[in-house]
Structure 1
């Protein structure tokens, strides 16, 4: 019964296409607005949780990849706000979900530095998407704090998964990867 519910929940997530709203200048400001921004977008939420879960499942120093993600997320936002254009933001966000989801599903163990570089590179694009929407420094600080909260939650989930059956993290990773495929397909078809 429980496994059927989890599978149905994962499959239902595939029908959602939550994008980062690239190109829409909203000029949002304030810490709270920035804080909830990564939590309210399904693509960012899934990717950031998956980074934390994957890190907790596959490394001893489980904070390195999430810290890299948060730092380069801020870097990408600042670069975008300074006028630097990032190519293919939405496809790279979709790719990040696919790659991190597959890493989690397959329980791939990378050297910690390689994992930090990989997720950090994707974080630049997530940050660029947010940077185009958030107006001020307090909103960016809130975005980083919200991201840190999501990574912390992902790490806690990953630590819980260590004690559970190994199919749970694999199912979660597959769901995130399929969400990335769905987002990518929507970009191609749309």
Structure 2
């Protein structure tokens, strides 16, 4: 598999720093004056969402083509469907548990270098995307349009996938593969902390 050069990986790794530059402002609600902005920040400011979405990009990069591109497309598309369910009030049991489990499962898949067939990987990612999308949809601020909010959280999610893909390019070397698998372990641990109410 051919990977882009180190510049692309480095650029992807800079995304979190650019996002964190305005986190303090977003935490207070300052500057969030549209549905798009509110939706955009929702996945980025929740660590339970962040670890799972970065994991999707990491696992895709670890699996290689075509998973590196398919998984980060499947997740936001299915997530938008889950978001629509949340907006219209369709109940979904154990949403928070599903979100926490997504970090645990995806992290372990990376940590143990599981090479699932692409259709299996897509089903796993899509299943967890429904929980994340439902949570986003349920938390739609009344003042904003559902459309702008949905576009915002899909874009925010896409950026988090790109971060995972960027770090996933480390798999070109043996040392990088170890680092990526270690990151999977960290993601699983963060997911477990949410699952057991420790975070």
2:119 is equivalent to residue 113 of structure 1: yes
Looking at structure 2, the residues matched to 77 and 103 of structure 1 have their Cα atoms a distance apart, in angstroms, of 25
Looking at structure 2, the residues matched to 185 and 142 of structure 1 have their Cα atoms a distance apart, in angstroms, of 29
2:180 is equivalent to residue 169 of structure 1: yes
Q: Which residue of 1 aligns with 2:110?
A: 104
Q: Which residue of 2 aligns with 1:47?
A: 52
1:142 equivalent among 140, 144, 152: 152
CA 1:164/1:34 → structure 2, altered by over 3 Å: closer, same or farther? farther
Looking at structure 2, the residues matched to 167 and 59 of structure 1 have their Cα atoms a distance apart, in angstroms, of 16
Looking at structure 1, the residues matched to 119 and 130 of structure 2 have their Cα atoms a distance apart, in angstroms, of 16
Q: 1:36, 1:146 within 8 Å by CA — same for their partners in 2?
A: yes
Question: What is the deviation of 1:29?
Answer: 5.0
Question: What is the deviation of 1:113?
Answer: 1.3
2:81 is equivalent to residue 75 of structure 1: yes
Q: Report the TM-score when normalising by structure 2.
A: 0.76
Q: Which residue of 2 aligns with 1:60?
A: 65
2:35 is equivalent to residue 30 of structure 1: yes
Looking at structure 1, the residues matched to 111 and 147 of structure 2 have their Cα atoms a distance apart, in angstroms, of 36
Question: What is the deviation of 1:58?
Answer: 1.2
**Which consecutive unaligned segments of at least 5 residues does structure 2 have?**
1-32
Question: What is the deviation of 1:164?
Answer: 5.5
Q: Which residue of 2 aligns with 1:151?
A: 161
The runs of at least 4 consecutive aligned structure 1 residues that moved more than 4 Å come to none
Aligned residues: 161
**Which consecutive unaligned segments of at least 5 residues does structure 1 have?**
1-27
Aligned residue for 1:63, secondary structure, equals: helix
Looking at structure 1, the residues matched to 127 and 120 of structure 2 have their Cα atoms a distance apart, in angstroms, of 11
What RMSD over aligned residues (CA atoms) do the two structures have, in Å? 1.7
Q: 2:104, 2:190 within 8 Å by CA — same for their partners in 1?
A: yes
Looking at structure 2, the residues matched to 94 and 121 of structure 1 have their Cα atoms a distance apart, in angstroms, of 13
Looking at structure 1, the residues matched to 148 and 174 of structure 2 have their Cα atoms a distance apart, in angstroms, of 39
Q: 1:66, 1:116 within 8 Å by CA — same for their partners in 2?
A: no
- Report Cα offsets for 1:34-68 as digits up to 9, x if no partner: 11111111111111001101110113111111111
Q: Report the TM-score when normalising by structure 1.
A: 0.80
- Report Cα offsets for 1:71-107 as digits up to 9, x if no partner: 1111100011112100000111111111000001011
